[in-house]
Structure 1
Amino acid sequence: MGQKHPMPNLSPSLSEILQSRPWLRYDSDAALLFDGVRLHDVAAQYDTPCWVFSASMLRARARALKAAFSDRGQPISIHYAVKANDHRATLTILRREGFGADVVSGGELRKAIAAGMAPSDIVFSGVGKTDAELTLAIQTEIGVINVESREELHRLITLATHLGKRPKVALRVNPHIDAGTHDKISTGREGDKFGVDWREAPALSRMAAKDPHLDFIGLAAHIGSQITSIAPFEAACQRLAGMVTDLRADGVPVSHVDCGGGLGIRYHQESPPDIADYAQAIVRHLGPLNVAISIEPGRWLSGPTGILLTRVIDVKAQPAPRSDFVFIDAAMNDLARPALYAAWHDVLPLHARATQRPEKAQTLAGPVCETGDILATDRILPPLSRGDMLAILDTGAYGAVMSSTYNARPLAAQIMIEDGKIAEIRPRQTLEALWEAERLPDWLKAE
């Protein structure tokens, strides 16, 4: 944060950023275009900070993912990880592309249904499901409940017995596989809070399959997020395949395997697998088993389809060799990932005139009263000044959905674009809305 820039080569040039993202370019008027729309015009109309999402990019990525499996002759059910971006517009687009939903709360379940998702196309994953959430899932007759523990399985049996229904159930297995991702988003290692230890899973599967109040259909696994190597997926699928074979040998019918999600994207210097290789890894191990296969992508679908627009408030000069602080109107309450995970997001100026000036290391800092409110550290960018506007890239997943109103900062507007059309899909929150739901106790009402 504002320190000496140790490795300038880590910060890509503007041309390198553009080369890796063909959906971005500068037009003849030197304005940055995102999927053919001038971002400067969006910022002028809706102010900053604001989120911009491309509907056509999301649709194209959804179709490419489906094609990766159909090209290999593999039927696949795809359930979008709602936690990545839960806006109803996003869910509506994916529903129309034939996707279901992977939810991790009762709220996400209800929101998916509100977006038109059929309950039978919804998978409920996640630890710590409450009795109320399990009851909702059972009564709604969703596609499958991925059970995460022995204790949850017993609670589910009790609830199903009481409700007189027979929910479809899969056992989420923790395969003890290190996905090589950030510690905070790894979910399949021994000791992680998710899933049933793979060594305990066979016995628990047999119990679930024998219970008359459950319709046990198979296994599930999810080993982490932002995975940039095929090897962990190969290892997880291989372990699942072995478990299916062993369970069937014990007389336990297994008709369904959920491979989870986690396929990463390029934020900086990552080289994530091609989706064709990802599909091939799943098909190679699970295709011969004659099971219904499903996946739960989130980040790969929506991450590159979003941008956070922001404006420079001021520049605070620092003595060499420290980089200047560039204060912007977007902050950690808008985009939490840099503060949570030291996550990298590339940045582009909204006008190409800046590319014609010398570049220097600068640190983009938000106005929130936290030292950790840094969105980009020591970036090689054109010199910035008050009023300049920037695009923070690849924020379509775990961006707006994780926003808060910390420091009484209203939620930013959300904009969707497609084929030159621009629509406000969530207006900027008003200041009054921050406190309109607050109530004073009676003893404080009298002055």
Structure 2
Amino acid sequence: MRFGSPLLIISESQFRYGYRQFRDAFRARYPGEVEILFANKSNNSLALRHIMNQEGAGGDCFGVNEMYIALLAGTNPKTLVLNGSNKQTEELEMAITNGLCINIDAMDELDRIDSICKTLNKTADVGIRLALDLDPLANKTGVAMHGPGTLKEQSDSTKWGMTREQTVEIVNKAKNMAHIELKETHFHLSRMTNEAEPFAVMAREMISWSAYITEHTGWTPPCVDIGGGWTFGKWYGTGPNGQIDDSSAPSANDYAEQISQAIEDEAQKCQLPIPKLRIEPGRILSGPTGVAVGTVGAVKENGKKKWVNLDLSTNHLSWAAILDWYYHAVPVENAAQEPTETVDLVGPLCNSDELGKHREMPPLSRGDFVAFLDAGGYVESQAARYNAQCLPATVLVCGNDAEITTEREQLRDVSGRFRVPARLLKSSFAQ
């Protein structure tokens, strides 16, 4: 294979297509301004960030490294938000210096931001991450991305967000700070259901909170950011045991219709203006753009079971191990060939390393290639180095062009960060 194996391959045209679907759906239906912030964490490739810049998308940055990559790509800082529950001083300084909106997620964060602003002689754009009540979702279940239980129970158990009372306290304090500009409220929960309704419930509740904030502070949030967690439709389904992203998943139009209507209705009920809407799609844009390709090595069987070993591993498709995530697998050559046997697709690591259990496949032999679909999101960005494995290369495909966007690691990269005290070296190499 030209670029070696294992290999991650990203389709530029699919990435742009997915973004435009979301953009056009919300612009056509939402009665106010809409801004799309790509969730950089789903795939923090520098090349993909450049593509999002060209498309006019902002970005959700979680931590200093994602913020640095977005700024390095030349993203307009005013279209970036900094999220995180434990922001370090260096990332607050970088955000304030460059003009990002910082979504507050701790009670002492406002004072820290204000102090840095005074030192730098800067003003800071600030939002507040909310801990929504989500009572209407008390009986609604989804994939347990944030612990077991219903969507409300998952939301209540997470570390993120401020209560109503805390939000009011932050707003009233910020209003008296000359270096602080209040810009938005924010919420995110990885809902992971094949329904648009939970998004509409959450959007409606954000407007309800806006009314509460207005009543108790006199400030009405001019912008609400409803985060990400969107699913996409595939006939085979993905996710834990293939239970999401199936053919019943909402379309971009479905999401836009229900969310827009919910915000419009609640704003009218609360006699509030229509706010600017920010959304943070990540996996729904990056996921379908990518495939992870591995090369078949040893094929083993014991009379009861057959294993097809690949050089791809759960170092790369980590959700297969962590969440029992289903990635649909197909042979690269003769993909339409009828399956004739049931095999376990496994990797080379010193654990079970199961990429796909009980998969119906045509006969595979050493040197064949197997592709795992929908691997553009949370694959490269979550790749690990267990067993000192090198991270794979990533190739961006556009028309007839195929270009490396992430270099394959070499052995020197794996060992290059290590340092050995001189006393140990002396002992190890003593004659």
CA contact (8 A) 1:202 1:247 kept: yes
Question: What secondary structure is seen at the aligned counterpart in 2 of 1:294?
Answer: strand
Residues 194-246 of structure 1 show CA distances to partners (whole Å, capped at 9, x for unaligned) of 11134543333333334333111231111115342212111111110111122
Q: 1:445 to 1:396 in 2, by over 3 A?
A: same
AA matched with 1:418: C
Counterpart AA for 1:135: E
Displacement of 1:283 in angstroms is 1.5
Q: How far did 1:354 drift?
A: 7.1
- Residues 358-369 of structure 1 correspond to what in structure 2 (within 5 A)? 358-369=339-350
**1:288-437 aligned within 5 A:** 288=267, 289-320=273-304, 323-352=305-334, 355-356=337-338, 358-371=339-352, 373-437=353-417
Pair 1:159-2:116 in alignment: yes
SS in structure 2 at match of 1:150: coil
Q: 1:315 Cα deviation (Å)?
A: 1.5
User: Shift of the alpha carbon at 1:294?
Assistant: 0.7
Q: In the alignment, what sits opposite 2:87?
A: 129
Counterpart position of 2:270: none
What is the percentage of aligned positions where both structures have the same residue?
28
Contact map agreement 2:297 2:367 (CA 8 A) in 1: yes
TM-score w.r.t. the length of structure 1 is: 0.84
Instruction: Report the alpha carbon displacement of residue 74 of structure 1 after superposing the two structures with TM.
Output: 4.0
**RMSD of the TM alignment (CA)?**
2.0
Q: With the length of structure 2 as denominator, give the TM-score of the two structures.
A: 0.87
Change in Cα spacing, 1:305 to 1:354, as seen in structure 2 (3 Å) is closer
Corresponding residue to 1:174 among 126, 131, 140: 131
Equivalent residue for 2:188?
222
User: Partner of 2:36: helix, strand, or coil?
Assistant: strand
Structure 1 128/227 Cα, relative in aligned 2: closer, same or farther at 3 Å? farther
Q: For the residues of structure 1 that align with 2:226 and 2:200, how far apart are their CA atoms? A: 11
Give the aligned residue type for 1:84: S
Distance 1:278 1:328 in 2: 38
1:139-218 matches, within 5 Å, as: 139-142=97-100, 144-177=101-134, 180-185=141-146, 189-198=155-164, 200-218=166-184
Greater shift, 165-174 or 225-234, is seen at: 225-234
Q: How far 1:353 sits from its partner (Å)?
A: 6.9
Please name the residue that 1:29 is paired with: none
What is the SS of the residue equivalent to 2:47?
helix
Distance 2:224 2:176 in 1: 19
Partners of 1:257 and 1:291 within 8 A in 2? yes
Supply the distance in 1 between the matched residues of 2:285 and 2:187 (Cα, whole angstroms). Answer: 19
Check if 1:79 corresponds to 2:46.
Answer: no
Amino acid at match of 1:295: I
Distance in structure 2 (CA, Å) of the matches to 1:254 and 1:440? 54
| Alignment-derived partner of residue 264 in structure 1 | 231
Question: The residue matched to 2:367 in structure 1 has which SS?
Answer: coil
Instruction: Within 5 Å, give how 1:14-33 maps onto structure 2.
Output: none
User: Residue 227 and residue 103 in structure 1: after superposition, are their counterparts in 2 closer, same or farther (change >3 A)?
Assistant: farther
- Equivalent residue of 1:145, what SS? strand
Q: Deviations over 1:266-307 (max 9, x none)?
A: 424533211111112222233453211111110011100000
